[in-house]
Amino acid sequence: MDGKLKQLIENGDVFSYLEQTGEAFTLGGIVVEGNKVGRTLGYPTANLKSDDISTVLPAQGVYIARVKHNGSWYHAMVNIGIRPTLDMDHVTIEAHLFAFNKDIYGEEIQIAFLDRIRDEMRFNSLAELKVQLDRDARLSKRLLQQIKWS
């Protein structure tokens, strides 16, 4: 990846990357167990163990994406970050797949990043986080519906 494209990804500008290359920036790996807080909020996530830890990562924040599992694509919202509301300190990649309810621990997925919708934020409580996740989900679904898939 050339320096300009790498800079777009590191800045979280996955949409410009898509426009310039004609394809989404993609990360793949195995789904590993997380701390399972997402499921208590109604947003279970597939936590990605990246294939290559030296891979460039998009900036911390929330993204709309498509996730490929077993040959099928699913709409998703993805968080990359340290999850400051939970006082975590290591970067995770976690995808909430819409209309998906399967146990896929240990299985491979690919995440195709389409656009960034907001920065990662700290909330005063899990209840405040849930309100924001509800907003993020509504926005993500609306934006994903507007995309013309080939």
Contacts for 150 with CB less than 8 Å, ≥ 6 apart: none
> With contact defined as beta carbons under 8 Å apart, do 60 and 119 qualify?
yes
Distance CA 141, CA 100 (A): 14
Which residues are bridge partners to 64 per DSSP?
77, 115
- pLDDT score for 86: 67
- pLDDT score for 44: 92
User: Residues, the chain, total?
Assistant: 150
Q: What string of pLDDT tens digits covers the 150 residues of the chain?
A: 889 999 999 999 999 999 999 999 999 999 998 878 888 898 999 999 865 556 789 999 999 999 999 999 999 999 998 876 665 677 889 999 999 989 899 999 999 999 999 999 989 999 999 999 999 999 999 999 998 765
Count the neighbouring beta carbons within 10 Å of the beta carbon of residue 78: 28
Please choose, from the candidates 6, 55, 50, 45, the residue with its C-alpha nearest in 3D space to the C-alpha of residue 28: 50
- Residue 66: both structure tokens together: 């498509």
Where is 116: in which H helix or E strand?
Answer: strand 108-118
- Residue 57: both structure tokens together: 């990562």
CATH number, domain containing residue 70? 2.40.30.30
Owning domain of residue 24: 3-146
Q: How many domains does the chain have?
A: 1
- Residue 102: both structure tokens together: 């399967």
Name the residue with tokens 């405040």. Answer: 128
Distance CA 56, CA 37 (A): 26
